[in-house]
Structure 1
Amino acid sequence: MLVLDGVARHFNNKAAVSDVSLTIGSGSFVGVIGRSGAGKSTLLRMVNRLVDPTAGSIRFGDVDVTKLKGQALRDWRARCAMIFQQFNLVGRLDVLTNVLMGRLNTVSTPRSLLQLWKDEDRAVALSALEQFDISQLAAQRADSLSGGQQQRVAIARALVQEPEIILADEPIASLDPRNTKVVMDALLRINRHYGITVMCNLHSLDLARTYCDRLIGMSAGRVVFDGVPEELTEGVARDLYGLEADDVLDFDPAISPERFRGAVPAAA
């Protein structure tokens, strides 16, 4: 269980996140929604400790995440994988090597620098690629792939870390509708099949309602909504998004599949 208690982050004199207290149950799929600049990305980056909180504490079980340093912090980042909007792949390296980067915390520095990967690690990486129907791309350079393919590679890299939490920061923001569905299906499959907790920043409320079992709405760095998707009425959404509400409430059937309540979507 992930527990945030009074977490805040200030940049100079500006509060990006203010007094956020949340309890995230294991195995949940949580959507974090809100306008651009609401504090969504900063919140996820504090959980992963890419950004340090100015105040408050973050705990996972008996681990005080806010106090971790050195190897203990690296271990936490392996347990709490991060997926970014811009994929963060090494374009000149092949797909398989990019996925193997998710195993860096399990190998020695000399072996990782020389790319002396164990057969076991290669098998794990190929298995992850197969799950997302991209194993045939293992030998291709990452920068030769489409955006949707690159994001699936990034998800495979996160999966081979064997994490307990996946944090996805606007993972479909730069994708077309077809690849949006493919990527969101992949995240949902990980959540349902492996029981991995997923926290995902999303701009589209239709996607958030479709895939998430809990929604957390942020505005000006604070949590202003916390409930199940059915509780996010149009009125609540308009309060949350203001003038931007019409942009995020549009329904697009191409990217809104049936609700996977208790089901595991097939591999993309």
Structure 2
Amino acid sequence: MLELQGLTRRFGAVTAVDGVSLRVPDGQLVGIIGRSGAGKSTLLRMINRLCDPSAGRILHDGRDITTLRGQALRHWRTDCAMIFQQFNLVPRLDVMTNVLVGRLNHVPAWRSLAGFWPEADRAIALSALTQFDIGQLAAQQAGSLSGGQQQRVAIARALVQEPAVILADEPVASLDPRNAQLVMDALAEINRNYGITVLVNIHSLDLARQYCGRLIGLAAGQLVFDGPPEALTQDAARRLYGLEAAEATGAEAAPRLYAVA
């Protein structure tokens, strides 16, 4: 169980996340929705402890994540894998090595530094790549791949960490519709086959409704919606997205009935 209690993050006078409280049972696939600047990325970064809360607590299976330091914090970041919009791969390294980075906390440091990865870890990495239909790319430089392929490499790297939770921060924002579908398929497969809890920031309501069993809506850093996709009405979407609602839902924007100064 992942639990947030009054989680808040301030940047000077700006409150990016404002007192968010929620509970995420193990094995859920949760879409976090809202307009740009709503606090979605900051929320995930706090859960991973890339950004410290200004107030509130993060609990996982009763353990207070907000107090972790040093090695305990490094272990949490293994248990709570992060996938970024811009992939965070090393372009000049081959795909296999990029995925093996996810095994760093599972092997002695000297092996990883020397590039002497155990055959068992190589097999785990190749299995993850094959699962996402990119096993044949293992020897290619990561920088030579398409955006969708690179994001699936990043997902494979997260999977080989053997995490309890995966946080995906706008993983399809820079992808075309076909590759966005492939990436969301990969996240859904991880959730379904391994029971890994997945929290994904996603701008497209169509994709959120298609893949996520639960939606969390943020507006101005506050939690304003929490429920199944079918409970998110067009009116609720407009409260979340304002003038961006048409873009988020894929609908045509309504004609303006007023002049803009």
CA distance in 2, matches of 1:116, 1:59: 36
**Residue 78 of structure 2 corresponds to which residue in structure 1?**
78
**Residue 44 of structure 1 corresponds to which residue in structure 2?**
44
CA distance in 2, matches of 1:112, 1:97: 10
Moved more, 32-41 or 239-248: 239-248
Q: TM-score, normalised by structure 2?
A: 0.95
1:162 paired with 2:154, answer no
**Residue 255 of structure 2 corresponds to which residue in structure 1?**
none
Q: How many Å apart are 1:110 and its aligned residue?
A: 2.0
CA distance in 1, matches of 2:243, 2:10: 26
Structure 1 gaps, min length 5: 253-268
- List aligned pairs for 1:143-158, cutoff 5 A: 143-158=143-158
Percent of pairs identical after alignment?
67
CA distance in 2, matches of 1:237, 1:147: 29
**Residue 96 of structure 1 corresponds to which residue in structure 2?**
96
1:205-243 deviations in Å (ceiling 9; x for gaps): 011100000000000111011110000011110111111
**Residue 58 of structure 1 corresponds to which residue in structure 2?**
58
CA distance in 2, matches of 1:103, 1:155: 13
Structure 2 gaps, min length 5: 253-261
Tell me, yes or no, if the aligned pair for 1:206 and 1:251 is still in contact at 8 Å.
no
Q: How many Å apart are 1:251 and its aligned residue?
A: 6.1
CA distance in 1, matches of 2:237, 2:13: 29
**Residue 257 of structure 2 corresponds to which residue in structure 1?**
none
CA distance in 1, matches of 2:240, 2:93: 42
CA distance in 2, matches of 1:148, 1:43: 24
- List aligned pairs for 1:1-268, cutoff 5 A: 1-250=1-250
1:238-261 deviations in Å (ceiling 9; x for gaps): 111111111111169xxxxxxxxx
CA distance in 2, matches of 1:179, 1:28: 23
SS of 1:93's equivalent in the other structure is: coil
Counterpart residue type for residue 218 of structure 2: M
CA distance in 2, matches of 1:39, 1:182: 26
1:24-67 deviations in Å (ceiling 9; x for gaps): 01000000000000000000010000001010000001311001
Counterpart residue type for residue 215 of structure 2: L
Q: How many Å apart are 1:13 and its aligned residue?
A: 1.6
CA distance in 2, matches of 1:85, 1:212: 18
CA distance in 2, matches of 1:111, 1:50: 26
Tell me, yes or no, if the aligned pair for 1:91 and 1:142 is still in contact at 8 Å.
yes
Q: Which has the larger radius of gyration?
A: 2
Counterpart residue type for residue 8 of structure 2: A
Counterpart residue type for residue 232 of structure 2: L
Counterpart residue type for residue 195 of structure 1: G
SS of 1:167's equivalent in the other structure is: strand
Counterpart residue type for residue 69 of structure 2: K
Q: TM-score, normalised by structure 1?
A: 0.93
Moved more, 198-207 or 112-121: 112-121
CA distance in 2, matches of 1:225, 1:28: 17
SS of 2:8's equivalent in the other structure is: strand
Tell me, yes or no, if the aligned pair for 1:85 and 1:171 is still in contact at 8 Å.
yes
CA distance in 2, matches of 1:122, 1:21: 40
CA distance in 2, matches of 1:62, 1:229: 28
CA distance in 1, matches of 2:73, 2:224: 30
Divergent runs of 4+, >4 A:
none
Counterpart residue type for residue 31 of structure 2: G
